Chain A
Amino acid sequence: MKMMIEGSMGVAYMVMRCRPNVIAAYPITPQTHIVEDLSQFKADGELSGEFINVESEFGAASVVLGAQAAGARAYSATTSQGLLLMGEVLFNMAGMRLPVVITVANRAISAPISIWNDHSDAMVMRDSGWIMLFAEDNQEAADMHPQAYKIGENPEIMLPVMINMDGFILTHAVETVDIPSQKEVDEFLPPYKPEEYLNVENPLTFGNLAEPQWYMETRYKLQETQEDAKALIEKIADEYKGKFGRYHGGLIDTYRMDDAERVFVAMGSIIGTLKDVVDDLRARGEKVGILKIRSFRPFPKEKIREVCGHVKELLVLEKAISFGLGGVLQEELRSTFYGQKHQPKVLGFVLGLGGRDIPPKSLIKLYEVSKGKEISNEFVDLRPEVAPKGSLVTL
């Protein structure tokens, strides 16, 4: 059913449709509305899962870990500091192959404290072993949840999945979201039936100590599984399309890329803004398109190479930075093409940190003024009093 609702509400509905047995979460802006809505569903008797109020995000993650290990489908949501506080548990879940799903309402990291959107929180967790998906709009964020459970719970994958949606920009935006019926979601997503779980009939030990003669093998397998997940993410996106008629991309999505020479690369809600920008530039005769990274982990190197055969320049726009190196996504793109026959030039821009608005005019300007330049880690729309000399686009 199509509803004009907040992104958080759309996610909450979809989470409920996935029938989690256990939800544990701790409030933090801008994730709060998701768990408030789920709490209300529980209070109204609509949600059959348990809702566990916890003392911290660390506790929330630990509760869902325990629940998932006991054979339940578990869910949590968080952001920013909360995600960092969960960090130790997140790594543990991936190592223990527990296919939990959490939603991250992406937000900047303190200090200085900022409750507004960027992707710094997710980037901290990029090496956790989780599958990491990024949503462009609220429909996609909602639709990602049944897909995420189905990907993670596949017996050959068994990995947790993080669904990233931009805090405030998506979580607090009211727009149309089509929420499928319970029956439809049930047809798509079967109940979680793990082969192994904490069970008195088959009393296995989970979470062993691995001495040096074993630890590396577990990590090797985790890497191998991430690679294996690539095909499954694509397959399940197709399956979802077949069932619900909606497709937001597989590992990636593309927009007007057929003959594009310069291509924007980005993740999350900025893709929507970029679509308007690209239409505008196309109307002026520019050969420009968009490469949307939907799956950040596993990182779709092969798929990116496949669609970029004719592309001359990639303009990577990202809402995070790895201090002392630069933009994370731009480095991933450079490594994607390292040693390849065709190597498009990679330009890297950092923007939208801590909720800095990203107006289309800034994107158009950076498109224009970056032509023919070598750029990496260029901050967009800095205040002029801070921007270095020669900055391409300032406030």
Chain B
Amino acid sequence: MSKPIQITTKPGSSKEYKTGSWRTSRPVFKHDTCNDCRICVIVCPDSCVSGGDFKYDADLDFCKGCGICAHECPVDDIDMVLEVK
């Protein structure tokens, strides 16, 4: 007899799958006018913005470039730029 196939999966293992290649444009965090409000962190559907102390960045391994962070940034500290292919 053999054990049933492992049909459960380990927490957070999706990080093995990089979604960054889906992106057509990327956010550039300018670290210029940042007011540490963390809206960029909160509104990211991909949970890929992190940081602290007025310095936030998107993890480009995962960022799909949706642009919500840039659009919602109240101090215009994030630019969206086209990926160069």
Same complex origin of A and B: yes
Residues in A whose Cβ lies below 8 Å from that of B9: 204-205, 208
- Number of cross-chain contacts by CB at 8 Å: 40
- Complex: A188 Cα to B61 Cα, angstroms: 54
Whether a CB of chain B sits under 8 angstroms from the CB of A224 is yes
Residues in A whose Cβ lies below 8 Å from that of B10: 204-205
- Complex: A203 Cα to B11 Cα, angstroms: 6
Interchain CB contact (< 8 A) of B4 among A204, A208, A221: A221
- Shortest distance between the CB of B82 and any CB in chain A (Å): 31
By size class, the interface of chain A is: 20 to 34
- Whether the pair B8, A204 counts as a contact (CB closer than 8 A) is yes
- Whether the pair B7, A225 counts as a contact (CB closer than 8 A) is no
Contact pattern, B 1-35, Cβ under 8 Å of A = 1, otherwise 0: 11111011111000000000000000000000000
Interchain CB contact (< 8 A) of A206 among B1, B3, B4, B7: B7
- Chief secondary structure at chain A's binding surface: mixed
- Shortest distance between the CB of A301 and any CB in chain B (Å): 18
- Chief secondary structure at chain B's binding surface: loop
- Whether the pair A158, B8 counts as a contact (CB closer than 8 A) is no
Closest to B13 in A: A205
- Complex: A225 Cα to B7 Cα, angstroms: 14
Interchain CB contact (< 8 A) of B5 among A157, A203, A221: A221
Whether a CB of chain B sits under 8 angstroms from the CB of A107 is no
Whether a CB of chain B sits under 8 angstroms from the CB of A217 is yes
- Shortest distance between the CB of A226 and any CB in chain B (Å): 11
Chain A, 182-201, CB within 8 A of any chain B CB: 196
Residues in A whose Cβ lies below 8 Å from that of B5: 217-218, 221
Residues in B whose Cβ lies below 8 Å from that of A204: 8-11
Whether a CB of chain B sits under 8 angstroms from the CB of A173 is no
For B, the interface residue count at a CB cutoff of 8 angstroms equals 10
- Whether the pair B4, A97 counts as a contact (CB closer than 8 A) is yes
A/B interface sample: 26 pairs, CB < 8 A: A96-B7, A97-B4, A97-B7, A155-B3, A156-B3, A157-B1, A158-B4, A196-B8, A203-B11, A205-B8, A205-B9, A205-B11, A206-B7, A208-B7, A208-B8, A208-B9, A217-B5, A218-B7, A221-B2, A221-B4, A221-B5, A222-B4, A224-B2, A225-B4, A228-B1, A231-B1
- Complex: A218 Cα to B8 Cα, angstroms: 11
Residues in A whose Cβ lies below 8 Å from that of B3: 155-156
- Shortest distance between the CB of A66 and any CB in chain B (Å): 15
Closest to A203 in B: B11
Contact pattern, A 147-165, Cβ under 8 Å of B = 1, otherwise 0: 0000000011110000000
- Shortest distance between the CB of B57 and any CB in chain A (Å): 27
Residues in A whose Cβ lies below 8 Å from that of B8: 196, 204-206, 208
Closest to A224 in B: B2
- Shortest distance between the CB of B9 and any CB in chain A (Å): 5
- Complex: A95 Cα to B10 Cα, angstroms: 18
Closest to B3 in A: A156
- Complex: A222 Cα to B2 Cα, angstroms: 11
- Complex: A370 Cα to B3 Cα, angstroms: 46
- Shortest distance between the CB of A205 and any CB in chain B (Å): 5
Closest 5 CB pairs of A and B: A221-B5, A204-B8, A228-B1, A156-B1, A205-B9
- Whether the pair B2, A156 counts as a contact (CB closer than 8 A) is yes
- Complex: A231 Cα to B11 Cα, angstroms: 35
- Complex: A225 Cα to B3 Cα, angstroms: 8
